[in-house]
Chains A and B, each alone.
Chain A
């Protein structure tokens, strides 16, 4: 059984159709890359799966349970961790305290004891390589470190599925490589990931399968090597088939 099932998802904002009957599935332990140029509907898709937006039609099911229209906090507690496209951390807290929020409130195992939540928060910081900065106030991190902190916050809730919305946006090439290396490591540990990005090469390098969107429609789906050579994908990215 697929862990995530998206069925004929559509979303219209007034006269603008952002998503048109998008369907796909994500198997357990898979790393699916969702690609597409700016405005192709990638973030809208993530917002609907994460409960930030309601779809005009269609359904989203997670582990066999329909989650369409649920609140973001409910979806988090069901086991879907998410990092946003625009960095979003608690500015008055240290790195460790930020991750503790995820461990204490986002976990499927609700009411985690404080000591256990702290242990898991430290483990999440170690996973992303920020353990040395645990006591640093979150606003003092660089953009790259903030992206890693968000990843640690999502990991601390022990999600079954991670939704990562452009985790490499705005990062230097070296920082992009660090994030990709981390994703490979998570994939190796069996974490199921759906990753949105418009950096075709970077995402094709880590994803086992790609879903390509253009103007709200699925234009290609399959193994990374095939999708990156698909004529419609090349047309969407380069303007020519």
Chain B
């Protein structure tokens, strides 16, 4: 039974992790560097969701939709900031996102205090018991939303003209420009998708765990690890990496205890950095 529980709970958690990583991966694709403020963007979405929930009684899905649309707007200031960094070296942009992470953490501490909060809704206490395994409504909702958004993202990237142009830009922006792809527009689209997916993940996160302004960095590390494992421009790769990661994490927590959760995370990151240069599905045909 612990194995079955780890499989089901890990799969559900992993689909949410895939969503968590999707925004990070797309932003990495167009900005060519890690966005170390990704976790804080997720938290901004979480606080937007908490506000919508408290003031309008919005559930996690409504809150995720609104927070996603709101955070997509970060693309404009982000692109304006990026365009002012000349030369736009990866280290400079990385440093900028680190500073942004600290700034957002402190602004959230000032605005929302360091209290831990949870998104409470009418189904928060509902528990399903498929195959005798207990799964809370929050976890299932986050998993369903994660799976749905990853599927939409996959179809967008693989089947639509702007999606293909975005993938080409992620691979090589200069070559994309030479091939007639409006690179700046694609960068704006990528940043909007990145911010929007991070924002949508926020309210769902607040149904899974307590949030406070300082819980962002571990979220960024999860997103970074999954991006290395799943690859950039591959929503299916991120979903697979997220599910694998979620299952192993559940097993580690079940067998070794919750204290090993972060140790496993950093261990996985180190292993990936040693061995993996391409995503899990990178070897397959790209279109």
Contacts and interface: CB of A to CB of B under 8 A. Distances in A.
B174 A105 contact: no
B165 interface: yes
Interface in B159-175: 161, 164-165, 168, 171-172, 174-175
B171 A157 contact: no
B172 A105 contact: no
Contacts of A88: 172, 174-175, 178
B184 A106 contact: no
Nearest to B282: A92
B285 to A, nearest CB: 7
B164 A104 contact: yes
A100 B161 CA distance: 12
A103 to B, nearest CB: 9
Nearest to B180: A106
A102 B168 CA distance: 11
Contacts of B168: 90, 101, 105
Given A88-B175, A101-B168, A111-B161, A93 B287 contact: yes
B171 A72 contact: no
Contact of A105 (B165, B184, B233): B165
Contacts of B282: 92
Contact of A89 (B175, B183, B285): B175
Nearest to B285: A94
B267 interface: no
Given A104-B164, A111-B161, A76 B171 contact: no
A199 B181 CA distance: 32
Q: Most chain-B CB neighbours within 10 Å: which of A84, A92, A97, A153?
A: A92
Given A90-B168, A94-B285, A111-B161, A106 B179 contact: yes
Interface in A58-100: 71-74, 76-77, 82, 84, 88-94, 97, 100
Contacts, number: 75
A106 B180 CA distance: 4
Most buried by A among B175, B180, B287: B180
Contacts of A157: 179-180
Interface residues of A, number: 28
Nearest to B172: A90
Contact of A101 (B174, B176, B183, B285): B176
Contacts of A92: 171, 233, 282, 286
A153 B286 contact: no
A188 B181 CA distance: 30
A107 interface: yes
A153 B285 contact: no
A104 B160 CA distance: 12
Contact of B178 (A76, A91, A97, A107): A76
Q: Which of A76, A91, A105, A154 has the most CB of B within 10 A?
A: A105
A91 B165 CA distance: 15
A73 B183 contact: yes
A42 B270 CA distance: 46
B177 A90 contact: no
B218 interface: no
Contacts of B174: 84, 88
Given A90-B168, A90-B171, A91-B171, A72 B177 contact: yes
A195 to B, nearest CB: 17
Closest 7 CB pairs of A and B: A106-B180, A76-B180, A72-B177, A105-B180, A88-B175, A90-B171, A77-B180
Given A74-B182, A84-B178, A105-B180, 19 more contacts: A72-B178, A72-B183, A73-B182, A73-B183, A76-B178, A76-B180, A88-B174, A88-B178, A90-B172, A93-B171, A93-B286, A94-B286, A97-B286, A100-B287, A101-B176, A101-B181, A102-B180, A105-B176, A154-B178
20 contacts: A71-B177, A71-B184, A72-B183, A73-B176, A73-B180, A73-B182, A76-B179, A76-B180, A84-B174, A84-B178, A88-B172, A89-B172, A90-B175, A93-B286, A93-B287, A94-B285, A100-B287, A101-B181, A102-B180, A106-B180
